[in-house]
Amino acid sequence: MEDKALRSIGVIMDGNRRWAKERGLSTMKGHAAGAEKIFQIVEWAHESGVEEVLLYTFSTENWNRAEEEVEYLMALAKKLFTEQLARFLDAGVRIRFVGDLTRASTTLQGVMREAEERTQNGEKGTVVFAFSYGGRAEIVAAVNTLLTQGKTEVNEDSFREALWSSGLLDPDLILRTGGEQRLSNFLPWQSVYSELFFTDTKWPDFSKEEFSAVVAEYYERDRRHGK
């Protein structure tokens, strides 16, 4: 039973833009609705005993989107971790960021550092924002870190320590909303034994009932880890 404990989940929050288009709304309205869903899934995860929630917030590839959309997403992130920070504090969760944060503005980098600092004493779990994140980029960065340290030989433990996600759990479960069935460069090193769940439901419409059904199915699966 110990191997099946659901301690960490990863979420690919897909479908914001299509959700907005179906309703005749702007892309920005879709992203705003998706951001609101973050607070809900953190709450649902806590109720299910999950210790860590890893959210694929903004990928390295997302920098290639239209300038207007990228600017809006950066502004939305700033709002989330300033004006809305009290909601994370009230929830008692720690915030952590993983990714190539140097690509964000110095202002946003400062906002993210402050969010981590102000929530560091949270005792009800951790919410991890994969921001400017790409799995391949994370692996390459880890290799370069080890080379800089003069390493000539590494093992899995030392390599894990060099990752942006060092100190975090591997996700037991990865959920993707929005109908696509791929991981899209999300946690390739960490997901080798993750249980994968895909749903057609677009992220803003994802419900507590569907989340509970995913958790229930997770506990029905046989996780042998090669044994």
Known catalytic residues are 14, 62
Contacts 24+ apart (CB under 8 A), 20-28: 27/69, 27/72, 28/69, 28/72
Q: How far apart are CA 163 and CA 52, in angstroms?
A: 17
